[in-house]
Amino acid sequence: MPAVPRAVALSRVSIERKIHVVRGHKVMLDADLAALYHVDTRTLVQAVRRNLARFPADFMFQVTPDEFQALRSQSVISNTRGGRRYRPYAFTEHGIAMLSSVLRSGRAIQVNISIVRTFIRLREFLVTHEKLAERLAVLERKYDGQLLAVFEAIRDLMTQPARRQPRQIGFRTPLRK
C-alpha cells in the first residue's frame, strides 16, 4: 500500500511572489516550480519534454529573449556566472496542474493543490475588485459629484500601491564635515 503524502505547508504569499505575468498570462517559471517540488530544474524540464503532448502552448511556453531579459532585470533570474544557460519555461495554471501527472510524487500533488488554490484566490480577488469598481461607478452616477472627494479617495485606495524600496541593511556612520 503506497504511503499517504502528508500535507505540504506552503505559504500562499510565497507562491504569489513566484507568479509572474508574461504575455498577459499569470505563469510560474520552471526553476521556481522545481524548487517547490524539491527537484532539479533540469529534471522537471526533462519530464516535461518526455511528455510534450500534455503541454500545449496555452499550458507552457519558453520565454523569448526579450522576456528573458525583462525577467532578469526584475531580479527573478540570476545573471551571474553559473546562472541559467537557456531561456526558462513558463507554466500557466493549467500547465502546473498537468505537472502533477508528469512528476508522479506525493509532494508534486500537494504542491499543485497549494498552487492551484493560490491561483483561485487571485482570481476571486480580481472578480471582487471588479465588482467593487462597478458598484462605485453606479454610486458616482447616482450622486452626480456630490461625494466626488469620497469617490476619488476610494479609487486611490483601490489602485495598486507602489512598491516601496527595501530598507538598506547595515551600519551607518555619521557624515564627516
Q: What is the CATH number of the domain that holds 55?
A: 3.10.260
- Over residues 61-109, the pLDDT tens digits come to 999 988 888 877 776 555 555 567 788 999 988 888 888 778 877 777 7
In this structure, the answer to whether residues 135 and 61 fall within a common structural domain is: no
51 in a domain, yes or no? yes
In this structure, the answer to whether residues 102 and 141 fall within a common structural domain is: no
In this structure, the answer to whether residues 34 and 96 fall within a common structural domain is: yes
Q: For residue 4, what pLDDT is reported?
A: 39
Answer yes or no: is pLDDT of 1 > 60. Answer: no
In this structure, the answer to whether residues 90 and 63 fall within a common structural domain is: yes
pTM score of the predicted model: 0.60
Residue-averaged pLDDT of the chain: 76
In this structure, the answer to whether residues 62 and 139 fall within a common structural domain is: no
Instruction: Name the residue range of residue 134's domain.
Output: 126-158
CB neighbours of 118 closer than 8 A, spacing ≥ 6?
Answer: 12, 15, 16, 19
Exposed, middle or buried: residue 108 (CB in 10 Å: 0-12, 13-18, 19+)?
A: buried
Domain count, the chain: 2
CA angle 93, 36, 7 (to 5 degrees): 90
Mean pLDDT of 120-148: 72
